Structure formats: C-alpha cells, structure tokens
Structure 1
Amino acid sequence: MFDPNTLVNMTIKPDVTAFFDTETNTVSYVVKDPNSTACAVIDSVMDIDYAAGRISYAAADKIVQHINDKHLSVEWLIETHAHADHLSAAPYIQSKVGGKLGIGAKIRIVQDVFGKIFNEGTEFQRDGSQFDRLFEDGDTYTIGGMTAFAFDTPGHTPACMTHVIGDAAFVGDTLFMPDGGTARADFPGGDARILYRSIKRVLTLPPEMRLFMCHDYAPGGRSIKWETSVAEQRAHNIHVRDGISEDEFVAMRAARDATLAMPRLIIPSIQVNIRAGQLPEPDESGKRFLKVPVNGL
C-alpha cells in the first residue's frame, strides 16, 4: 500500500478559502498556489429545491465570483467522493472558469452499486468516463507549482480519497472536527472497519498537517469550524483518538449508524454525483427526471 508520507512537503503552504453552505452543512474550498494564480476547487455544492424540483447555483456562484475577483486560474475540480448529502456543482463551475474534474478511481464501484439501485439501465456508463481524471492510490497532480497527491481512504464510501496539497489535507467525510467524530459507514459499500483503518492512515501524516473537513454540524451549538490538525484529531477525536481500538470503533459506529436517518438529499445527490454532477439525460419531451427507489436504500 502506498505510504502517503513519502510525498508530503510541509514547506508548501497553500492559501485555502472556505465556503460554507448552510443548507447542507458542506464546506467547499478554493485551494491556491501561493506563488501563482493557479487553484483547485474541492467539493462544490449545487443548490436544489427538492420539493419544487428546481436546481440553482447560488453557492457555486460565490466560488466563481471569488475566482474571478482574485483573477485565479482553475486547474482542478476535485471531488473527495460521491457525496450523499449534496449535489456537486463541478460541471457548472467548469463551464464558467474551466478546470479538469477528478475523483477516485473506485467511483466505478459506486456507479455499479447505485446504477443497479436506481435502475439506470445500460445507457449509464459505469466506467468513470464522466470524469476527466480517475485517481489511483498515490497518484499526483499539479496546481501551479504545487504537487498534490491523493490516497485511498475508503470506509464511508469505496471511492473516498484524501487529497494532500502541501501542508493541507482535504479528508472529505472520512473525519469530522474532533468533537464531531467520524462519518457513518452504513451506506451501500461502506464498512466501519475499513473506515477505521483509513482514518489511522490519515493520522500517520505529520502532526502539524492541517486537516480540512467537508462538513460541520456545530455539535453543542458551537460556531461552525472546518480546520483542525492531525495532532488535534489524535488527541481529542471522540471516536478515533489514540487509544481507541478498531473493535471499539466498529461497535460504536454500528450502534450509532443504526440510529441515523438517511440524509435529506441522498436520492438526488447520488444520482447526480455518480454522473460527475450532471443531471440525467432528458426524455423525448426534454424533461429530466430523478428516480425514487421505494424501499431500495
């Protein structure tokens, strides 16, 4: 297995700008090379009024405006995984400011699983071809003068990856802030034991490595936060701090996940995100539809 520490370069300190979406508690990021105008967008959000069936782009437009105001050049649009709680705005942002769309290569597993659940038919490609780049464990890519790399951190979903850019790591849903713990592992393809091992892989990174979360739910009513460190997670994470065993974690996750309702937007999110943020193809009349599998999730 690839050792992520072989590629860590803590001397590079990217500029990170966060955008918090209150509707989905999602944090999106613009990550800029400090020595050029090059940047990447990570885990963007497309708005949906689910009851009305209307898509809009207020959250994405804030990112686009920031990019334009700062005269940035978008080189990558990164998805840490196929999200189940918000719709990706990557194709919309790509149409406005460019960039290549990348996700973990194991998205093909997710596409296969949910292609069956949503009865997508043979016209839905399950080979990841909707994306511009499929990252394998240890793959590198550049953002201006920065070398970024991705490594597998499955467990929440099979396709979850952590992206390391200099002294910053973007962990998706693998971890929450220390007082929030960890993500659920009961979706199709999820596995609590694998999640524990993935988290421990993240926590082998240097103690001072900045960790950026994809979500925050403000436990206890505190203010929203999204940045922590490897050292802080190892010392204080309520689910996986040092000293908590794999078996203890698996038992905790199984008990906790059994109490959790499905995310409000899981049905539209999965169908859109396995298509790299695109809506399903229109029917003969030009209308697009999302399916609801009854008793299917």
Structure 2
Amino acid sequence: MVRTIAFLVGAAFTLVLAIALWGSVSGLISEPPAPTAEEEFHLHPREAHLASDGIFGRFDRRQLQRGFQVYKEVCAACHSLRLVAFRDLAALGYNEPEVKAIANQWVIEQPTINPETGEATTRKNIPSDRFPSPFANEVAARAANNNALPPDLSLMAKARHDGGNYIYSLVGPDAYRPQPAALLREFPDVKTPEGLHYNPYFANLNIAMPPPITSDGQVQYSDGTAATRDQMAKDVAAFLTWTAEPNLEKRHAAGFAAMIFIAIFCVLAWGAYQNVWRDVKH
C-alpha cells in the first residue's frame, strides 16, 4: 500500500513538472521574447590574426615588444598589470640591463614604508617587482575615472571569450563610433548615457573607457614599424595574450610531444597485437 501511494505521488509530481515545462516551452515557441539591443547590435570580435593563434601558434617577440610599448605609453595610465613582474619581460627578448632600466624608469614607483620614520613613501622599481598600480586604491581609481573601475589587464585575454580578438576589436579603429540610427529608432530608450561611449564590441554596447588609441603615430615604435591605429590595437592584443598565457609555446610543445608519443605507442601496440595473435586461427 505504501509503495502504491509513493508511486502515485511521484507520478503526480512528475506530471505537474511536465505540464509546467510544456507551458513554458510552448509559450516561448508561440511568443518568443523580443530581441534586446545588445542581441541585435553587439558585434562579434574581428580576427586579429595573431602569430599565437592556432595549435601551431608562437609569439612574435617583436610584436610583443611593440605591444608592451603601447601598454606602457597608452594603457598603463589607467590599467594595472599586477600579475606580471618586470623580470618577466626577459621572455619578450629584453636583456637583463634593459629589464633593469625599464623597471628603474617606470613612471609609477613602488609604495613602501620608510624604515626610519615609519611613514609611507615610494622607491624605484626593481626587476623582481610586479608592475605597480596607477592608483593607490579602488576609491582613487574610481574618482579618476568617472566612478568606473579600470580592470587589471593581466588575465584579460583569458577573462573574455576570444580574448585576443576581443581586445583587438575593443580598441581598434572601428570600435568607437556614433550610435547607429537604426538602434535609436528601434530602441529609443538605450541612448548612450553621458560619460559613456558607444562600442559595439562591448557586452552592453556602452563603455566607460574613452578611446585609448586615437590617432596614427600615437606611439613611436622603436623598430620602425608604422604605428597605425590598427597596428597598435593588434600589438597590444598580442602583448596581453602573452601576459595571460606566458607558457603558451611550452604548452603547445608539450602537446605535440604527447601526440607523437601516443602515435608511436599505438603503432607499437598494433605491432605487438599482430605478433602475438598472428598464429591464432579464427
């Protein structure tokens, strides 16, 4: 008797769930929700065609150095790079004296405490230091950026889908633009608020960051490469891909080694199978 009652209760519960599910699904089919402005006007990132793309990808050291120069001269005024140390720049092709010079000449110094007075002070950076934040704290960062908090860029290429292409598109030459007339006609209530900027590659179309790359030649590359807006966007995207995945080349090499090992193992296993069972008649 108890089992029968339990079965009936379970069957009734299942039936109620099925009816509720069918009601929801049929409602979505018959009356689908209206598309939002973000769904209609958000653009997928453009292809940057970075050297690190794909399973055979490798970093272009010259491009990484150019990207670092763009970060240093354009992005570092607002965005931190707190997971990267100056000495990590050796992987970009800088030698030890150059790394020391970059750390020593970095505009923002390291906060510290004066051992004699106990008061807060600063000191020059050394290679083992991580890149210092441009702001003392979150309150200072928001106060300097219209209450928007500039994100740390160390892992930005991993924090966003299609990270390298996303960064390239977000700061590229066609990123910041006036709102389309079609958007304002269809969604008159989503006009870009004052203090924000329309950017179709950003998730909600409106971003607090002003255009960081504003003109060709904004950075003078030391290797003589023409610093077009597109080139600078591509280079800084490559650099931030490296900060997020500094071991990318090692992972690719380990993956190839593993695949070669598996292929050889399969051939040997097949040969052993043929040798062991060759005299067995079916």
Q: Pick the structure with greater CA Rg.
A: 2
**TM-score range, shorter-chain basis?**
under 0.3
Structure possessing the higher relative contact order (Cα contacts under 8 Å, 6 or more residues apart): 2
Instruction: Indicate the structure with greater strand content.
Output: 1
Normalised by the length of structure 1, the TM-score is 0.25
